[in-house]
Amino acid sequence: GVALGKMLGDTGLITLDPGYVNTGACRSDITYIDGDAGILRYRGYPIEELAQNSTFVETSYLLIYGELPNKQQLETFTDQIQRHTMLHEDLKKFFDGFPVDAHPMPVLSSAVSALSTFYQRALDPFDEPNVDLSSVRLLAKVPTIAAYAYKNSIGQPFLYPDNSLGLVENFLRLTFGLPAEPYDVDPDVAKALDMLFILHADHEQNCSTSTVRMVGSSQANLFASISAGINALFGPLHGGANAAVLTMLEGIRDNEGNADEFVRKVKNKEPGVRLMGFGHRVYKNYDPRAAIVRDTARGIIEKLGGGDEMLDIAMRLEEFALHDEYFVERKLYPNVDFYTGLIYQAMGFPTEMFTVLFAIGRLPGWIAHWREMIDDPDTRIGRPRQVYTGPTQREYVGMDQR
């Protein structure tokens, strides 16, 4: 909706658009979404083709630099990432400062923010080689930080990254490996996780990406901006939804698989009760990422020996919602988060790590947008207006008269 706001000392016309439903904040070459048709493309390439043929590292290059890399470019990029996976020993001490049951998301955002203190000489947002280096450092170190946050929470020692491994393989080993035992990465798990990261890699002006751009518009450095994005992702209406879906499905399972009571609460709009993993600001059709995840879920869950029970509940819930008047009327379809949690759980990740996995996946998108924003001559500091609704001028009232 648009409202007129009378602004003292100003031109007087303000577009009021809570949640920015119809307000564009920038031009962007990175990602195209047609929400009505259920289309998603990165740099013009359909998400389905990237999910099938690309890798997360290659897709990261595509998002950040705009083109698919040639062989040499990919080798160099991969090599750079592999060489930057280690954390400064002093940064590792950070993890001791958090409570043992610390949620890994704030640990991740704090550690990413702290990275800027370790690389103070490489923070100039307009120095491209420095921005390249910061981008690589983030892509390489965020999976290491994420794995350490997990290890810390279960009281296990940190492993050093193995730079002969690819990004996803390294992350799996750092997460699930033990110092004295060899860890063989399951190639099917690595491939599935790599594909899930591709699906999460960008989604134009979502809440966390807009946050990265907003913070960066003040010319704050890349680490500071990405740390802010991680915090935005933490919320249950955004990246936190993948964890919330699992909690919801477990609740239904523990109620003997009966979803009626839950659905009734959703439809009655009881505060805070929503069908998690459903609905999207932009998609008014099936989220193409959700379709890919759903088609992959059963194979990988069965291979890993996870129970199908929860997947069956999820599919029944989807089937119900797709034919129920409430959801049909509002064009609510499964979004990317509806099925991912079930796969992450089968892979052995605890629920708290689900949103961290989303953050690893979304990282190249955040980096690409920050860089596009910094390079764009139209960028101005993000500074929305408001329609003031408080009291007009009042006279100060002394304490004895209140």
What are the residue numbers of the active site? Answer: 280, 337
Chain centroid to CA 170: 20
Helix H or strand E segment including 32: strand 31-34
Task: Identify which of residues 13 and 37 has a Cβ nearer to ligand ACO in the complex.
Answer: 37
Structure tokens at 115: 């990275």
Which residues, 6 or more positions from 99, have their beta carbon under 8 angstroms from its beta carbon?
Answer: none
46 forms bridges with which residues in the sheet? 41
Q: 275-294 mask for ligand ACO (x: CB under 6 A)? A: xxxxxxx-------------
Lateral strand order in the sheet of 31-34: 31-34, 39-42, 45-46
Task: Identify which of residues 178 and 237 has a Cβ nearer to ligand ACO in the complex.
Answer: 237
Among 6, 264, 303, 330, binds ligand ACO (CB under 6 A): 330
3-class DSSP state for residue 238? Answer: coil
Q: 344-373 mask for ligand ACO (x: CB under 6 A)? A: ------------------------------
Task: Identify which of residues 177 and 361 has a Cβ nearer to ligand ACO in the complex.
Answer: 361
Q: Are 169 and 185 in contact (CB under 8 A)?
A: yes
Report the C-alpha dihedral over residues 359, 365, 370, 376, rounded to 10 degrees. -170
Segment lying near ligand ACO (by CB under 6 A), choices 253-261, 273-281, 295-303, 345-353: 273-281
Task: Identify which of residues 95 and 333 has a Cβ nearer to ligand ACO in the complex.
Answer: 333
Instruction: Check residue 265 for interaction with ligand ACO (CB under 6 A).
Output: no
Tell me the backbone φ, ψ of residue 33, rounded to 5 degrees. Answer: -125, 130
Residues 27-86 that bind ligand ACO (CB under 6 A): none
Segment lying near ligand ACO (by CB under 6 A), choices 46-54, 269-277, 292-300, 369-377: 269-277
Strand bridging mode 39-42 / 45-46: antiparallel
Closest approach, Cβ 283 to ligand ACO, in A, equals 8
Q: Are 344 and 242 in contact (CB under 8 A)?
A: yes
Q: Are 139 and 364 in contact (CB under 8 A)?
A: yes
Q: 210-239 mask for ligand ACO (x: CB under 6 A)? A: ---------------------------xxx
> Which residue's entry shows tokens 């307000």?
23
Segment lying near ligand ACO (by CB under 6 A), choices 39-47, 69-77, 216-224, 330-338: 330-338
Q: Please give the residue whose beta carbon sits closest to ligand ACO in the complex.
A: 279
Task: Identify which of residues 153 and 296 has a Cβ nearer to ligand ACO in the complex.
Answer: 296
Task: Identify which of residues 1 and 398 has a Cβ nearer to ligand ACO in the complex.
Answer: 1
Per DSSP, the residues of 375-395 read H-TT-----------S-----
Sites of contact with ligand ACO (CB under 6 A): 19, 237-239, 241, 266, 269, 274-281, 330, 332, 335-337
